Amino acid sequence: MRTFEGDTGEVVLQLEPGDKALESIEAAIDEHGIDTGYVASGIGSLTQLHIHYVSGYDSFPDFPDEDEEIDEYVKEEAAWEVGSLQGAIADGEPHLHITAFDAEREKMLAGHLEPDSIVHALMEIVIQPIEGVELTRRPEQMDIPMLQER
């Protein structure tokens, strides 16, 4: 992983084969002291994609009981082309969504980026800090962490 910092605090990450995407982003956020910000752009390729997404359509518009698991986890190895990666950073913690395509199987997946998503050839990611506001996430309805000012 290589990082480059601009004059106004933006950070550009270049991830290399074998780097772990989420773990590298978290390391860059820590290294550059980003508390509140956003991932503006992320493109590249992965050999392993690990995501989760909210399932349980049958229970909508009513959400399931607190004890019910509504997240589905997917971890797949393939030649994934990342079309987008973006999200918010609060309290130094990223909440990121990714969209990726496996051309060989004509399969597209989207969801929350999870650990152990492994870079194939490269990934380029741009992180922008936000000055003047400090955000955190606190559980609200159904124990879902929502953005709030600290």
What would the pLDDT profile of 97-110 be if each residue is shown by its tens digit? 999 999 999 999 99
Average pLDDT over residues 52-72: 68
What's the pLDDT score for residue 144? 83
pLDDT of residue 109: 97
Cβ–Cβ < 8 Å for 77, 118? no
Mention every residue, 6+ apart, whose C-beta is less than 8 A from residue 36.
89, 90, 91, 129, 130, 133, 134, 135
Residue 29 has pLDDT above 70, yes or no: yes
Instruction: Select from 3.40.190.10, 3.40.50.300, 3.30.360.10, 3.30.1330.80 the CATH code of 2-131.
Output: 3.30.1330.80
pLDDT surpassing 70 at residue 56: no
Mean pLDDT computed over 80-93: 98
Q: Phi first, then psi: what are they for 60, rounded to 5°?
A: -80, 150
**Secondary structure (3-state) at 59:** helix
Q: Identify the pLDDT of residue 141.
A: 79
Q: What's the mean pLDDT when you consider all of the chain?
A: 93
- How far is residue 131's CA from residue 126's CA, in Å, rounded to a whole number? 16
Q: What value does the mean pLDDT take over residues 63-75?
A: 73
Segment 11-30 shows an average pLDDT of 98
Q: Which pair of structure tokens corresponds to residue 114?
A: 């999870």
Q: Is the pLDDT of residue 67 over 60?
A: no
- pLDDT beyond 80 at 48: yes
Domain coordinates in residue numbering, the chain: 2-131
